Copies of this chain bind each other. A is one copy, B any other.
Amino acid sequence: MKKTLSDKVINRLTLYHSILTDYIDKNIEYISSPNIAELLHIDNTQVRKDIALLKYKGKCKVGYKAKELKLLIEDTLKFKTVKTAFIVGAGNLGSALANYDNFEAYGFKISALFDNSPLKIGMKVNDKDIFNLKELPFLTEKYDVKIAILTVPRAFAQEVTNFLVDAGIKYIWNFTPCVLNVPNGIQIWNENLIGNFLQFTVNHK
């Protein structure tokens, strides 16, 4: 894939993928763009445009082959490429993400959690170990992990980020409500939950 897909296209493709999974589970062979559009309350033209980006053509009157389209989305979004990540902060949110089995379907593998609470270190969440945060630099190097999911309390967000950067982490998926200061070359994805939701309430209410 040479051309970069826009954020919105990628987001919609993952939703189409989710719909296709349901169709295949129900043994439905074909899906049409209006089927998808109706479920997502979006325009049919949009669905067709997105799928055209994958260079996939449906059959007249029957639509797309669900299995083929699903595989094509997986290929485009690199679901088969395993992306290993650590969760930093084993509180409610970190544990929720460690339990989110769906990540694996997308090639996203959580290999361990880290915390500094003696009550949590040594425990497991969804069969994944919670290690002492101090061990992160060693394990990052040992397993060549480049992605960290940051779910620590706000007050420690920057300090822990500095620690992650020093340990060799290159991608931080930031679930804290802080804007983190990092050197060039480190990629931060601000999850910014509230920002996502405000898009919804500001424009609809």
Contacts and interface: CB of A to CB of B under 8 A. Distances in A.
Contact of A181 (B39, B200, B202): B39
Contacts of A187: 200, 204
A102 B194 CA distance: 8
B106 A41 contact: no
Nearest to A106: B194
A179 B106 contact: no
Interface centre among A99, A100, A106, A201 (most CB of B within 10 A): A201
Nearest to A16: B179
Count of identical protomers in the assembly: 2
Nearest to A125: B92
Nearest to A172: B200
A129 interface: no
**Which residue among A4, A184, A197, A205 has the maximum number of chain B CB atoms within 10 Å of its CB?**
A197
Contacts of A163: none
A175 to B, nearest CB: 9
A15 B181 contact: no
Which 8 pairs show the lowest CB-CB distances between chains A and B? A92-B96, A93-B96, A14-B195, A189-B200, A11-B195, A102-B177, A7-B199, A92-B95
Interface of A: 4-5, 7, 10-11, 13-15, 18-19, 22, 39-41, 77-78, 81, 83, 91-93, 95-97, 99-100, 102-103, 106, 108, 147, 154, 171, 173, 177-179, 181, 184, 187-205
